[in-house]
Amino acid sequence: MNLLRGIKRCGKMTYIISRQRSTVAASARPLTDNGKFDRPSIVTNEIPGPKTRALLERAAVVHNTGAINFFCDYEKSKGNYLVDADGNVLLDCYQQISSMPLGYNYPGFLDIYKDESSLVSVVNRAALGNFPPVNFTKDLETLLTVAPKGLTNVVTLACGSCSNENAYKALFMWYQRRQRGEEPLGSDQNIESCMMNKPPGSPNLSILSFSGAFHGRTLGCLSTTHSKWIHKIDIPAFDWPIADFPQLKYPLEEFKRENDAEEARCLAQVEELIERWRTKSPVAGLIIEPIQAEGGDRHASDDYFRKLRNIATKYDIGFICDEVQTGMAISGRFWAHDYWNLDKSPDIVTFAKKMITGGFFFSDEIKWKEGYRIFNTWMSDPSKFPILEHTLDVVKSEDLAARAAGVGEHLLSGLKDFERRYDFLSAARGRGTFCAIDAVDTNTRDSVVKTALSNGLLIGGCGEKTIRFRPSLIFSIQEADMALGILDDVMQKIAP
């Protein structure tokens, strides 16, 4: 079957909408003359289709396939359209869990590796911690062109989890350096005790995190992750303080008094926890997301974050801003924390996903001087740096942060229209194209996501009942209308 396009008027919104016709040849392709997709196309009766199911069966013999949605044909995928193993063409508003800045096979990107110098970095993966290539300093300087205000240092790593994990280590090192004063780092007492996992070499310190947070799946990160139990169960965790993240009521303008009180309560709790843990496991720092992503796209006001930063300054503890999902322009600013207009920058900002590589920016105060303290063999993948450099050029030259802001406003307007028309939807919210809306419960949310997929739209779920959008930075208003049109049909089918 194929998807035919039409126009449907919904209140004040006009959506491009897709309707199914069951007799279209499976070989039909939604391709324009220049070889780009201009709409979704479904050729199997269900997703995953027979080819994906066969691949799943083969993989399951030697691999846990419980998290696999379907297999993809990345060679055929283009822009905002993902092609699965069965040939279904999906309008992808999820983009590899918020990881593709410019969609699939962006023009000219494949040619990067026709350049021998770029190909050399693929063939010879450098151990960056010990043996970086001659152009590594240039790569670091490229990263620093987008460094958050006030942060003049950067370390590269492989992924979001290891970025946050090593950020914790850097914060602990900074905290202990100030506690130690003139005492030598490698005193006999420190050396002997750390090798036995005992103080003072292994100090009893903590990182404060927030309910609903997700910071990764390594052991330290899991201790600060509180979004899904499946990530954490059976895994030992550090006994570290957990503060409530504000639970705002929507529409925000109708609940200002209640939301202000909720944020004040949560901020007071943060201070109380810092005070209470001083004698148990002193808080060296806190970590927070500008928007809690995996926890259900939960927002707080800019004023809340400013006051939280002031609390960290007051108690002289570190402030880590986790921009793994929100970084690289999707929020309408290059860094989502830019909206806060802080008097003092975060001490550390972590990144990954759309940034192609992982790592963190940090202040001069955090900087350490000894080798091997933040270290692993690879320290990122140098073969990805040419893609990062070209991506940053496109983001800047095309002003894709402004585009995300404009398209996101249009998308959010459509979600708010849904909220008015469907009583099982609520709390439409977002910044840039980092948008979400809540269903009435988990089953309804899952039904929306599954039915949308069968109609050619790939979106995601998070939290208990949230539908989330994570499109690329080249997502257009026309594609937003198409997504809203498909969703409108889905909502009508699901509506009681």
Extract the tokens encoding 415: 């979600």
What residue has token string 């060296």? Answer: 284
322 is catalytic: yes
* pLDDT of the residue at 183: 84
Confidence of residue 32 (pLDDT cuts 50, 70, 90): low
Mean pLDDT of 53-79: 96
* pLDDT of the residue at 389: 96
Position 202: which residue type? Answer: S
Of 118 and 235, the one with more pLDDT: 235
Per-residue pLDDT for 3 more than 90? no
Compute CA distances 461 → 431, 447, 465, whole Å: 17, 10, 7
Residue 201 near residue 195 (C-beta atoms within 8 A): yes
Domain boundaries for CATH 3.40.640.10 within the chain: 116-396
**Which member of 78, 353, 354, 465 is catalytic?**
353
* pLDDT of the residue at 15: 56
- Tell me how far apart the alpha carbons of residues 196 and 54 are, in angstroms, rounded to a whole number: 50
Average pLDDT of the chain to the nearest whole number: 93
The 10s digit of each residue's pLDDT in 429-465 is: 999 999 999 999 999 999 999 999 999 999 999 999 9
Compute CA distances 121 → 108, 127, 160, 378, whole Å: 18, 11, 22, 12
What is the bridge-based pairing of β-strands 13-21 and 2-10?
A: antiparallel
Mean pLDDT of 300-321: 98
Q: Is 280 exposed, middle or buried (0-12, 13-18, 19+ CB in 10 A)?
A: exposed
Confidence of residue 24 (pLDDT cuts 50, 70, 90): very low
- Tell me how far apart the alpha carbons of residues 103 and 418 are, in angstroms, rounded to a whole number: 27
Residue 428 near residue 419 (C-beta atoms within 8 A): yes
37 is catalytic: no
Extract the tokens encoding 186: 């490698």
Confidence of residue 34 (pLDDT cuts 50, 70, 90): low
The 10s digit of each residue's pLDDT in 146-181 is: 999 999 999 999 999 999 999 999 999 999 999 998
Q: CATH code for 2-91+398-442+449-494?
A: 3.90.1150.10
The 10s digit of each residue's pLDDT in 395-406 is: 999 999 999 999
The 10s digit of each residue's pLDDT in 230-282 is: 999 999 999 999 999 999 999 999 999 999 999 999 999 999 999 999 999 99
The 10s digit of each residue's pLDDT in 339-357 is: 999 999 999 999 999 999 9
Per-residue pLDDT for 374 more than 50? yes
Domain boundaries for CATH 3.90.1150.10 within the chain: 2-91+398-442+449-494
Closest CA to 2 of 37, 35, 36, 28: 28
**Which member of 37, 172, 210, 214 is catalytic?**
214
* pLDDT of the residue at 4: 30
**Which region among 9-18, 43-52, 136-145, 417-426 has the lowest average model confidence (pLDDT)?**
9-18
> Of the CATH numbers 3.40.50.720, 3.30.420.40, 3.20.20.150, 3.40.640.10, which one belongs to the domain with range 116-396?
3.40.640.10
**Which member of 65, 137, 152, 377 is catalytic?**
377
Residue 38 near residue 476 (C-beta atoms within 8 A): no
What residue has token string 């997929």? Answer: 453
Contacts of 23 (CB under 8 A, 6+ apart): 1
377 is catalytic: yes
* pLDDT of the residue at 69: 94
What residue has token string 């496109």? Answer: 394
Q: What percent of the chain has pLDDT over 90?
A: 90
Could you check whether the bond before residue 251 is cis, i.e. omega within 30 degrees of 0?
yes
**Which member of 84, 92, 297, 322 is catalytic?**
322
Residue 462 pairs in a beta bridge with: 466
* pLDDT of the residue at 220: 96
238 is catalytic: no
* pLDDT of the residue at 496: 74
Mean pLDDT of 125-139: 95
